[in-house]
Chains A and B, each alone.
Chain A
């Protein structure tokens, strides 16, 4: 049982409404991609789903149990959250940081068990970080660092995975790697995965369902075909696009239409 549900989730900050009555149901084994322009509230929504933020009203529940009833530790056993940023000023090594993903399981003092060590090693392998284990985190590039905190979220071994921009700053190869791995894990281990992404075409390829945030609320949720339409994209991102079929995969493929004269290229006249 690992469904994640939000009901009329409302969040405001300094008397400003940021998210207005968001209701979402996420099922086990499904990858939901959150889309929206900068400042639309994607990160806020993810953080609200794991009780990083206090809701103004509404509720979030895991397997029908309100998340405010969980202790922090029990919640961390159920939901792993990969933040977009965190403090990088420490002399911890990659192995140290990934190991800390086991904290919800071993608590404050229990030493790591053989099982813990196995999970840590699997997570390091899955993110291609085996050779980086002893590297200090201050010496990592942006992409390596992101893979490390993904590895830590994997080591947390929770049935619900919330990933905030897991592909930002990664090379194309690692973007595919990460999304592919996350998707396969969602299917194999029957996880709920919620990801925020900027790339609409990645969303179409890797998401089972897409949720589009704009003007503080969800303006669309459904398959890529239902959500990635020129009119919804114009409404959410204020850009003109055309949507074609991917020549190989057949999924919807969003092609931007650049404003006339902005690129120095002429418009093809078919």
Chain B
């Protein structure tokens, strides 16, 4: 069953013509769906008409002032952060420009060859240290007795020299006996 134009008329904000009103009333008597919609909309309209005005809790304006003050403080802090970040960004840009300028003012291939040469030199030195270290570790059992023998010999020689020196010192500072002539 068609509910048009009756549904439009029920839900229309515009006042209906007398003949439209009459036709709608006749339709509503026989159509349960349209009658339900019509009653529901009438109830809604009545409820809206008598609904109370809502009001916020007391002190709304003061809370707004407080909120605005807080918001402005936050905005100030945000501005400061942005300014600081801007400064860092600017410093970064300047550093980048300087690096690029510095690099551009040199011969790039020469700089690259220098880097490679330094790296090669470093690798050669590391290799030499490695070779010497491994050779020493490999020959350690042979070298150890030689080191011990040389060490003991050197200590003995040093001991003998020290005793000789002590003896000569003793003689030098001992008192001279009477009647003894020094030749």
Decide whether A and B are members of one complex: no
B-binding residues in A (CB < 8 A): none
